[in-house]
A = this chain, B = another copy of it.
Amino acid sequence: MNAAHTHAAQDADRAAKRTRGRIKRMPRAVRERQMLDAAVEIFARRGYRAASMDEIAELAGASKPLVYLYLNSKEDLFSACIRREAEALIAAVRAGVDPDAPADRRLWHGLRGFFAHTAAHPDAWAVLHCQARTHGEPFADVVAALRQELVDVVTHLIAATAEENGGGAPLPWQEASGLAHALVGAAESLAGWTNGRTDEVPSEWDTAETLMNFAWAGLDNLMNGRRWAPARSQVPSAS
């Protein structure tokens, strides 16, 4: 199951599965999607190198040559997975964001989209976060672009708000970028944390709220020119 599935595609899928084992023939698009689904699952479970095309083909319910016919090579298959899942994640983050809302509300909605999607598609998230970044150029590039896109959105959000508020010294772009990286990293970490839990899993609402509580005060301070300074040993920031 993937976020990109249209309603029609799901119907075709169901029809295909209903007769699985008896009639194998099915249109290329359906098969291709099944293969990507299987590949994401296996790549997430085993890692890129340890995943075997045999296992992927088997899980997809097709023969290995067919996987190659449709997706060319292990590398291309992995790329296709990454691209599909990256786009789905970006879409999920953007879906709930109202561009005219104030900064904190935009962040809040983006985070909720992010946590909801990573929780709903843990394999996809594992592939994007853990696997794709640790393997050579072709894959890391796609994922780096995805991450950069998220980071850029946040960086702009921070920089724009800071300039708007304009209290005190302006926030240098590089620092805004560092803050954005910190926020994205915190989000990634929380996504992994909630996914890994077996006891009471917090809702995406709770997780997003925790992160907003964690991050917003500091960001708000900085965007208004109030800083924490290493030299003095007192709590400096809270107004």
Interfacial residues, chain A to chain B (CB-CB below 8 A):
3, 46-50, 95-96, 101-102, 104-105, 108, 112, 116, 120, 130-131, 133-136, 174-175, 178-179, 181-190, 192-193, 202, 204-205, 207-222, 224, 226-231, 233, 235-239
Contacts and interface: CB of A to CB of B under 8 A. Distances in A.
17 contacts: A120-B239, A134-B134, A179-B210, A181-B189, A182-B189, A182-B190, A182-B211, A185-B188, A186-B186, A189-B189, A205-B230, A208-B230, A209-B229, A213-B218, A216-B235, A217-B238, A218-B218
Given A182-B214, A215-B218, A216-B228, 16 more contacts: A49-B50, A50-B135, A105-B233, A112-B237, A178-B190, A185-B186, A189-B189, A204-B238, A209-B228, A213-B228, A214-B215, A214-B222, A215-B215, A217-B217, A217-B222, A226-B238
A220 B221 CA distance: 12
A-side interface mostly: helix
A212 B230 contact: yes
B219 A214 contact: yes
A21 to B, nearest CB: 22
Could you say how many copies of this chain the assembly holds?
4
Nearest to A236: B205
A238 B184 contact: no
Contacts of A184: 189
A4 B120 CA distance: 42
Contacts of A227: 213
A49 B175 CA distance: 37
A172 to B, nearest CB: 10
